[in-house]
Amino acid sequence: MKKQDVLVQASKLNKSYQTQTGAVHALDGVDVAVRAGEFVALVGPTGSGKTTLLGILAGIEPADNGSVILLGESLQDLDDDDVADLRLRAVGMVYQSYNLFSGFTVRQNVRLPLQLMTRRPPFDASQRTDYLLADFGLPDLAERYPSELSGGQQQLAAIARALATNPPLILADEPTANLDTATARHIVGRLRALADSGEHGVILATHDLRVASQADRVLSLRDGRIVKETAMQPGRSGREVLAELA
């Protein structure tokens, strides 16, 4: 992966859900592209379409219209198995609701993506798992099941799992929502460093403007549309950035 390679490019995404009370337009003509080396924040009120957008970019659910090109492959041209394979190679997803497997321990959850890979990753699965558990302060919790953890601890396990395969694209859905300030800063610092390495791109949905201010650019979503894009410039004070985002 070279810095500036486009990891994901989505055009004209539309998505509606049918509900008892009529159709909900979750996404309405969204274009987004993320390159290796970029950290992009996605902000917007609850219900603005952040989770829907991340799910479509990851190939977890299809858009009604529009295209997603992930690592150069057009998702609409692939069958379900190939999308699943590509997702495993391309994407680390931190789900808003964690989606840890309840019958697996923390260690087993973190290790699982490495075991599912058809191509062997270039590192030892046990060492990689131990490294991530240590990095996120989870060693003492490694043999516990998700139901034996706090929300924040589950969130940390979900982040560690998303990074297990060292994926080029990291999609993180409000990954710091349940973390204390210091832990949140550690997580965002890790994601920032992955982007800065030039090997990874990050899209992070958040309500926390201090987190968003760490991004290279911030996309503001409202009613399923990107209504504003704010480029961050080094040297601007946090207060200036927060004022512009608010």
Ligand X SMILES: Nc1ncnc2c1ncn2[C@@H]1O[C@H](COP(=O)(O)OP(=O)(O)O)[C@@H](O)[C@H]1O
Residues that bind ligand X (CB under 6 A): 17, 19, 24, 26, 44, 46-52
Give the nearer residue to ligand X in terms of CB position, either 15 or 128: 15
Q: Out of Mg ion, ligand X, none, which partner does residue 24 contact, by CB within 5 to 8 A per kind? A: ligand X
Q: How many CB atoms lie within 10 A of CB 165?
A: 21
Euclidean distance between CA atoms 3 and 137, whole angstroms: 30
Is 165 an interacting residue with respect to Mg ion (CB under 5 A)?
no
**Least distance from ligand X to the Cβ atom of residue 13, Å:** 12
Beta-bridge partners for 171: 93, 203
**Least distance from ligand X to the Cβ atom of residue 86, Å:** 22
Amino acid at 18: Q
Euclidean distance between CA atoms 244 and 236, whole angstroms: 11
How far lies 198's CA from each of 37, 146, 161, 172, in Å?
4, 33, 21, 18
Q: Out of Mg ion, ligand X, none, which partner does residue 220 contact, by CB within 5 to 8 A per kind? A: none
Is 51 an interacting residue with respect to Mg ion (CB under 5 A)?
yes
**Least distance from ligand X to the Cβ atom of residue 16, Å:** 9
Q: How many CB atoms lie within 10 A of CB 32?
A: 20
**Least distance from Mg ion to the Cβ atom of residue 164, Å:** 23
Beta-bridge partners for 74: 69
Give the nearer residue to Mg ion in terms of CB position, either 48 or 105: 48
| Sites of contact with Mg ion (CB under 5 A) | 50-51, 96
